[in-house]
Structure formats: C-alpha cells, structure tokens
Structure 1
Amino acid sequence: MMLALGNIFRCQRLIQNPVRFLVRNCHKESIPVSWGTPKIGWTKLNFDGSCKGRKGNGSIGGVIRNHKAEFLLGYAESIGRTTSTIAELSALRRGLELVLENGWTDVWLEGDDKTLIDIIVCRRQVKCAELQRHVGHINLIIPELNNCIVTHIYREGNRAADKLAQIGHQLEKPRIWWHDPPNEVGRIVDEDAEGKIILRRR
C-alpha cells in the first residue's frame, strides 16, 4: 500500500512540473514585431538566405518595397551547396545589384541574421575567402548609393523575404517578379502594409 502511494505522489510531481513550466512560459514577455515602412522617396530591401539539408543546399530571396509599402520587385534563386552566412550575404548582394540596376539610391537594407548585420555595419573581419569576396563586393556597392541604412529585424518581420528564399529552393533558374508577387508572398506583403504585429516569444 505504501508503495502505491509513493507512485501516486511521484506521478503527481511529474504532472505538476510540466504545468508549472507552461505557466512560467506564459508569463514571459513577448516582443511585438512588425515590418516598418521606409521614408518618402526611399526603397526598402528585405533579404534572406536559406540553407537546409545535410548537403547544405542554399537559396536566396528578397523583396523591394517603396514608402507606400507597395511591392516593386522580388527575387529568388537556388545557389547550391553553401553555408547559412554565405546564403545571407548572397541574398544581400543580389538585392543590392538589383537596387543599382533600377536606380534606387536611398535604400534601407534589412535582414534577420544578426551576425551578417554586424559584419556589414561593424566591419567585422571574416576569415573565409568566399565570405571576404561577398563582403568586399557589398562594400563596393553601398558607397554607390546616396543614402543607405542597414538594420536587423527578427524573422517575424522578415516573412516576405523568408518566403521568397523558401521558394528559391524549388527553382531551377533565378527568378524576378515585377510589381506582382507570388500569391503566398502577396498575402504577407498586404499584412505588412497593414502593420500586422506578430508576437515573438523571448
């Protein structure tokens, strides 16, 4: 009889612990995240790189919008075997090339990889030759712009670029969308324009 009671008490503790864990998590503060509109006359490039699978198959994506939150251009591409940081740099590099090609000169660059933002903004040194090559190219493009700011945003505020990067995995050749994004991206662009807030758990 005592053994049975002991088992009951152990079971109660096992049941109570997950409940207390859930309650603690519910009380943690969430961070409200939303996409921000650029100033009048500015364009905003959100970019993202994706790397998944054992072979590290990479893809890139990005979206460029104006101060009215209107979709101007989107791009996506599969880039083969790579690392996540190189995928992020490739996404930014390709986006900047498209910015220059279209004559946009006041540009807000935004991505969700904090390490990459630190490399660009803080001029952090990188040892990998391929990383150096991408960073060098990016550092040559940025001075061509009249004005440029670079910021980090959580993934919840970078959903349109993230979705395009995911689409990139499915593509056999690079793709650019002008003024009319894929349906799944268009829905996100509309939500961003409306100021939709997504809560990020700490």
Structure 2
Amino acid sequence: MIVAFSANTLRPCQRLMQNQVRLLLRSWHKEAIPVAWEKPEVGWTKLNFDGSSKGKAGKASIGGVFRNHKAEFLLGYAESIGTASSTIAEVAALRRGLELVLENGWNDVWLEGDYKTLIDIIVKRRQVKSAEMQRHVSDINLIIPELKNCRVTHVYREGNRAADKLAQIGHRLDKPRVWRHTPPDEVVDIVHEDAEGKVVLRRR
C-alpha cells in the first residue's frame, strides 16, 4: 500500500519539531549555574556582607561574616538599622564590615557581596545620586586605601548564604551584635557547608 503525504499533513509534524527545538533551547538558557563560596588566600581575611529591607524602604538590617583561608569563622555581625531601602542596607552592611576590619587590624581583605550594583559603584567609582548613599560610599572609599591589599567581588546569593542569614537575624535584634570565633546556631551549618565547598545550584 502506498501512502501519500500532502503538504498539509507535513506541517503539523514540522510545527511539533519546531516546538521541541524551542523547548530544548529554553532549557539550555535555564540551565542551573553551580555556585560555591570560595576561600581566601593564606593570610587573607574574607568578608561576606549583606543587607535586607522588607519592602521598598521598610524595616532594614545588615549582616556579615569574616573567615580565614581555612574557612574558619572569625567574626560575624548583625544589626537592625531602622527604615531603609535595600540599596542603603547593602552599603551600610559593607561600611560596618569595613569598620570591623579596622578594629581587628586585618590588612589583606577580600570583600564580597551579592548586590552587583553596589560592587560596581565601589570598584568602578561610579557616582550616586542619593546623599545618604554618598555618605556611606565616601566612608568606604576612605577606608579601603587604608588596607594593604583589598579585593572586591560580586557573588550570587547562593554563595553568600551565611551573610544573608546574619542579615535576617539582624531584623530580630534590639541592638547590634557581634559574634567572635563561634557563629550563631542558625549559621553553623552554612559555615560548615561553605568550608566543605558545597555547590548550590542557581536557576536562571
């Protein structure tokens, strides 16, 4: 038996194939990105910092964590800062972290956060319009040259989990807190996972 295919019978097959190709391309674009916290070099201290704001300019808090080349917890901090935007919270978290850098005499410091806009402002010396933001940025730009070596990088939130957790803790605090040598219970597992090089997948 001979079966003849007309143009009309081929079109649905072509459409099906085109749809499958589109789905395949979409899945490639949505492929997960592996993210892991990275240890600093020997002799360096790494600060991961984060800010949190509930709403456009709601209740805000900051947090950060310092670790050495062995991924050992050195110091953590968290604080509620009243009402502020997420941008102000992020820059306030970095500023507070740098104040602690000076207090502890660390000279070779790696600063890492998950808010790329702020990282670009610091690294590329970009201008900011907000007077409050400018005050924080000016203080940061005064502190960084005081350090022997300083590296500033962006990391996805999945690689900034310890700082994010400390910033969340900050929402619950009545006054600023600093933890030395031993992290708060809520951060212990994250610190251990980071030290072991745990990879967290980031979905695009």
Give the TM-score, by structure 1 length. Answer: 0.87
User: Which residue in 1 is equivalent to 2:191?
Assistant: 189
The whole-number CA distance in structure 1 between the counterparts of 2:23 and 2:173 is 42
Cα contact 2:128–2:134 (8 A) shared by 1: yes
Moved over 6 A (4+): 20-23
Uncovered stretches (5+) of structure 1, i.e. residues with no partner: 1-16
Per the TM alignment, residue 30 of structure 1 is displaced from its structure 2 partner at its CA by 1.1
User: Which residue in 1 is equivalent to 2:14?
Assistant: none
User: Which residue in 2 is equivalent to 1:36?
Assistant: 38
Secondary structure of 2:79 counterpart: strand
The whole-number CA distance in structure 2 between the counterparts of 1:141 and 1:149 is 13
The whole-number CA distance in structure 2 between the counterparts of 1:63 and 1:94 is 11
The whole-number CA distance in structure 1 between the counterparts of 2:30 and 2:76 is 36
Per the TM alignment, residue 25 of structure 1 is displaced from its structure 2 partner at its CA by 4.4
Per the TM alignment, residue 183 of structure 1 is displaced from its structure 2 partner at its CA by 1.2
121-130 or 24-33, which deviates more: 24-33
Matched, 1:115 2:130: no
Per the TM alignment, residue 184 of structure 1 is displaced from its structure 2 partner at its CA by 1.5
Uncovered stretches (5+) of structure 2, i.e. residues with no partner: 1-18
**1:67-115 C-alpha deviation (Å, 9 max, x unpaired):** 0000000000000001111100000000000011000000000000000
Per the TM alignment, residue 21 of structure 1 is displaced from its structure 2 partner at its CA by 7.1
Matched, 1:63 2:93: no
Distance of aligned partners of 1:96 and 1:201 in 2 relative to their CA distance in 1, 3 Å threshold: same
The whole-number CA distance in structure 2 between the counterparts of 1:148 and 1:54 is 31
**1:118-152 C-alpha deviation (Å, 9 max, x unpaired):** 10000110011000100000000001100000000
The whole-number CA distance in structure 1 between the counterparts of 2:50 and 2:101 is 15
127-136 or 53-62, which deviates more: 53-62
RMSD across aligned positions (CA): 1.8
The whole-number CA distance in structure 1 between the counterparts of 2:135 and 2:52 is 19
User: Which residue in 1 is equivalent to 2:84?
Assistant: 82
Secondary structure of 2:53 counterpart: strand
**1:1-53 C-alpha deviation (Å, 9 max, x unpaired):** xxxxxxxxxxxxxxxx9xx9799548731110000000000000000000004
Secondary structure of 2:33 counterpart: strand
Secondary structure of 1:37 counterpart: coil
Give the TM-score, by structure 2 length. Answer: 0.86
Percent identity over the alignment?
77
The whole-number CA distance in structure 2 between the counterparts of 1:201 and 1:139 is 34
In the alignment, residue 100 of structure 1 is paired with which amino acid? L
* Matched positions, count: 184
- Choose from 130, 140, 143 the match for 1:141: 143
User: Which residue in 1 is equivalent to 2:152?
Assistant: 150
